[in-house]
């Protein structure tokens, strides 16, 4: 009999362990500082993520997700109305919701999802909690006025959600988590990692070290600009010039996926080499934001795109924990935090830029010569379109692998074709091309063929996504 009890307990232990890992990897909420589990994870060299977003929120709206595409839109609209919101999978039970104590609940889903195989009903007991509930299944119900009425007239919220407050609370939480230990941040110069650096710097000052890896596929002057800005701040900023190292690895490679993999892997190796030189650093910081978590699936069981923040880092970096102070925020909120923290506007309002950089905008083999050509053409595109009062969400140049015959200064040429891409989007998962005026297009073309040697033809990409992606590779 004792044996049976022993095996039952063993099975139960492994089931609980599996649930715990799910929590650690996916839910990113408050990590229980269970000493035994923490040392166990440390032994396995699996970082514990230090989420801090919800623990201090008093008044919040819970969005229960039953599939469909409106959850993020609703959550952002609620926040824009000064009320904190959080998205949870629809299968959360009434007792769990009671513990979270939201002031209102919004159920959202689409008919497709509700009728799909494996669809699950919500726990009927939530209607007995005495919390106001609203259902949204159509886009027109996501309007600000509708949601405002629900929040203020039905739920009686005070509307006290304020990002200034968020900063203060996060600084407190970071200090509490980190104590007197050290934190390492991989700084790319993009919006999220830049804002993350500024916030961490305010919280822990000298305990922070930031590494920027220049892989040689940055835009014109970008590496130097990033160094100029960040080395002036108290960030223990380290710029690693790894240009030759990356170009050597990329030599002769033409396959887009292979290029991405080589760059991802080499980044990890450089990061590893550098962090080894720095001695023991206990925490790794990342600029993960809320949509990265929601879209990565996890507790939602519905992966849209897997976020690469942790997946790309080597297991043997052996950090005790991961600090992600922006993991409760949407992109537009991160930009606001950047503004409040006094970052220059061009940093917090930047366009998205892919990790592999210009390597996925140079078709075919990536060489220094081709990168330099593209940098010049791209600078012109960004300068000209950047003058528009209403700017598109993303605009850049691509160096195609096509050469065509032309004539410059009465001489026959056989030069590269540059493509221009400019897109309008709200989610970057779909897009439309920007209907640029002929006047601007003409100016871009004249400048590129006039100022960039070895380019004598320019084309404009008017394909939406789908079927084309935003980047060309
Ligand atoms: P696609 O090309 O997939 O791009 O339509 C959608 C958005 O994602 C950006 N993008 C990347 N961002 N690492 C990133 O951090 C990447 O490897 C990457 N590839 C594409 C792209 O610029 C666009 O905003």
Domain ranges of the chain: 2-154, 163-348, 361-461
Q: Which atom of ligand 1 lies nearest, measured to the CA of 356?
A: 17
Say how many Å lie between the CA of residue 281 and the centre of ligand 1: 30
How many Å separate Cα 42 from the centre of its chain?
Answer: 26
The answer to whether 419 touches 382, Cβ cutoff 8 Å, is no
CATH of domain 2-154: 3.40.50
Rounded Cα distance between 97 and 69, Å, is: 22
CB 75 within 8 A of CB 86: yes
Could you count the other beta carbons within 10 Å of the beta carbon of residue 325?
Answer: 28
Alpha-helical runs (H) found in 220-358: 222-231, 243-250, 256-277, 290-295, 308-311, 331-340, 345-348
Banded pLDDT at 234 (limits 50, 70, 90): confident
Give the architecture-level CATH label for domain 163-348.
3-Layer(aba) Sandwich (3.40)
Q: Which of 27-41, 50-64, 209-223, 406-420 has the lowest mean pLDDT?
A: 27-41
Q: In the predicted model, what is the mean pLDDT of residues 85-104?
A: 94
Pocket test for ligand 1, best of 305, 352, 430 (most atoms within 8 A of CB): 352
Probe ligand 1: pick from 353, 354, 419, max atoms within 8 Å of CB? 354
Q: Are 51 and 28 in contact (CB under 8 A)?
A: yes
Mean pLDDT, residues 208-235 taken together: 94
Q: What is the dihedral of CA 94, 96, 98, 101, to 10 degrees?
A: -130
Nearest residue (CA) to ligand 1, atom 14: 354
Task: Specify the residue with its C-alpha closest to ligand 1, atom 10.
Answer: 354
Closest of 238, 239, 263, 237 to residue 250, by C-alpha:
263
Please name which of 141, 163, 168 lies closest in space to residue 82, comparing C-alpha atoms.
Answer: 163
- Residue pLDDT, tens place only, 136-190: 988 888 889 999 999 999 999 999 999 999 999 999 999 999 999 999 999 999 9
- Tally of CA atoms within 13 A in the half-sphere of 41 that contains its CB: 23
30 pLDDT band, cuts 50/70/90, is very low
- pLDDT, residue 117, reads 67
Minimum CA distance residue for ligand 1 atom 16: 354
Could you tell me what percent of the chain has a pLDDT over 70? 81
User: Domain 361-461 falls in which CATH fold?
Assistant: GMP Synthetase; Chain A, domain 3 (3.30.300)
Q: Which residues line ligand 1 (CB under 6 A)?
A: 352, 354-356, 394, 428, 465, 469-471
pLDDT of the residue at 283: 93
Report which protein residue has its CA nearest ligand 1's atom 7: 428
Secondary structure (DSSP) of 113-145: HHHSTT-----GGGGGS---EEEE-SGGGG-HH
What ligand 1 atom has the least distance to the C-alpha of 351?
24
Ligand 1 pocket test, pick from 219, 471, 473 with the greatest ligand atom count within 8 Å of Cβ, gives 471
Domain 2-154 and domain 163-348 have a common topology: yes
Residue 4, pLDDT above cutoff 90? no
Minimal CA–CA distance to 83: which of 66, 106, 99? Answer: 106
Determine the distance separating the centroid of ligand 1 and the alpha carbon of 371, expressed in angstroms.
19
159 CA → ligand 1 middle, Å = 35
Quote the ligand 1 centre to 2 CA distance (angstroms): 57
Band of pLDDT at residue 22, cut at 50, 70 and 90: very low
Q: What distances in angstroms separate CA 252 from CA 184, 203, 214, 247, 268, one per listed residue? A: 34, 45, 20, 10, 21
d(CA 357, CA 363): 12
- Taking CA atoms, 424 is separated from 117, 421, 459, 465, in Å, by 35, 10, 18, 10
Per-residue pLDDT band at 68 (split at 50, 70, 90): confident
Cα–Cα nearest to 368, from 214, 216, 212: 216
Note the pLDDT of residue 142.
Answer: 85
Mean pLDDT for all residues in the chain: 85
**Phi–psi pair at 140, nearest 5 degrees:** -65, -20
Q: Is 275 exposed, middle or buried (0-12, 13-18, 19+ CB in 10 A)?
A: buried
Residue 407's pLDDT is: 95
Strand partners, 321: 48, 283
- The torsion angle over the Cα atoms of residues 272, 278, 279 and 285, rounded to 10 degrees, is -70
pTM: predicted TM-score of the whole model, two decimal places: 0.76
Tell me what the mean pLDDT of segment 9-28 comes to.
43
Q: How confident is the model at residue 127 (pLDDT cuts 50, 70, 90)?
A: very high
User: 470 CA to middle of ligand 1, Å?
Assistant: 7
Instruction: Give the Å distance between the CA of 437 and the centre of ligand 1.
Output: 26
Q: How many CB atoms are closer than 10 A to CB 32?
A: 12
Q: Tens of pLDDT along 406-445?
A: 999 899 999 999 999 999 998 777 899 999 999 999 999 9
Burial class for 176, CB neighbours closer than 10 Å (0-12, 13-18, 19+):
exposed
The answer to whether residues 60 and 83 touch, using CB atoms and an 8 Å cutoff, is: yes
Maximum CA extent, the chain: 97
Question: Where does residue 301 fall: left (phi above 0), alpha (psi -120 to 50 degrees), or beta otherwise?
Answer: left
For the residues 257-282, what does the mean pLDDT come to?
Answer: 90
CA gap 279, 256 in Å, rounded:
36
Q: What are the backbone angles phi and psi of residue 349, rounded to the nearest 5°?
A: -110, 25
Cα–ligand 1 centroid distance for 353 (angstroms): 7
Provide the pLDDT for residue 301. Answer: 52
Please state, in angstroms and as integers, the Cα–Cα distance from residue 107 to each residue in 53, 103, 135, 414, 448, following that order: 22, 14, 5, 60, 51
Gap from CA of 227 to ligand 1 centroid (Å):
24
């Amino acid at each position: 009999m004792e044996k049976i009890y022993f095996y039952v307990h063993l099975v139960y232990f492994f089931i609980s362990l599996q649930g715990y890992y799910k929590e650690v990897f996916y839910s990113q909420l408050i990590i229980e500082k269970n000493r035994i589990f923490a040392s166990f994870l440390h032994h396995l060299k699996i970082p514990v993520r230090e989420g801090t977003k919800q623990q201090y929120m008093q008044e919040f709206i819970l969005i229960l997700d039953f599939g469909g595409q409106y959850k993020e839109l609703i959550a952002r609209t609620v926040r824009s109305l000064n009320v904190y919101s959080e998205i949870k999978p629809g299968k959360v039970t009434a007792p769990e919701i009671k513990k979270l104590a939201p002031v209102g609940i919004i159920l959202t889903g689409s008919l497709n999802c509700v009728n799909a195989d494996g669809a699950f009903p919500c726990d009927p007991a939530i209607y007995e909690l005495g919390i106001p509930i609203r259902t949204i299944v159509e886009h027109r119900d996501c309007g600000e006025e509708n949601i405002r009425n629900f929040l203020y007239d039905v739920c009686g919220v005070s509307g006290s959600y304020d990002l200034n407050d968020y900063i203060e609370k996060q600084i407190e939480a970071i200090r509490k988590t980190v104590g007197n230990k050290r934190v390492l941040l991989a700084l790319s110069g993009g919006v999220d990692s830049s804002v993350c650096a500024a916030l961490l710097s305010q919280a822990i000052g000298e305990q922070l070290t930031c590494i920027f890896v220049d892989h040689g596929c940055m835009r014109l002057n970008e590496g130097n600009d990033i160094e100029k800005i960040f080395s002036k701040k108290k960030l223990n900023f380290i710029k690693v010039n790894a240009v030759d190292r990356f170009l050597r690895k990329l030599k002769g490679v033409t396959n887009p996926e292979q290029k991405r993999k080589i760059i991802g892997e080499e980044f990890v190796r450089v990061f590893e080499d550098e962090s080894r030189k720095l001695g023991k650093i206990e925490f790794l910081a990342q600029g993960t934001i809320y949509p990265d978590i929601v879209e990565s699936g996890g507790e939602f069981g519905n992966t849209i795109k897997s976020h690469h923040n942790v997946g790309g880092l080597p297991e043997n970096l052996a950090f005790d924990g991961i600090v992600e102070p922006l993991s409760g925020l949407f992109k537009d909120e991160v930009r606001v935090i950047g503004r409040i923290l006094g970052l220059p506007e061009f940093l917090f309002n930047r366009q998205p830029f892919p990790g592999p950089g210009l390597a996925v905008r140079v078709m075919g083999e990536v060489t220094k010569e081709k990168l330099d050509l593209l940098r010049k053409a791209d600078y012109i595109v960004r300068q000209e379109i950047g003058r528009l009062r209403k700017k598109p969400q993303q605009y850049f140049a691509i160096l195609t692998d096509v050469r065509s015959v032309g004539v410059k200064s009465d001489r026959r040429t056989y030069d590269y074709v540059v493509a221009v891409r400019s897109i309008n989007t709200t989610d970057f998962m779909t897009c439309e091309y920007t209907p640029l005026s002929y006047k601007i297009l003409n100016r871009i073309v004249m400048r590129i063929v006039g100022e960039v040697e070895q380019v004598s033809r320019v084309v404009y990409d008017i394909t939406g996504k789908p079927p084309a992606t935003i980047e060309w590779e």
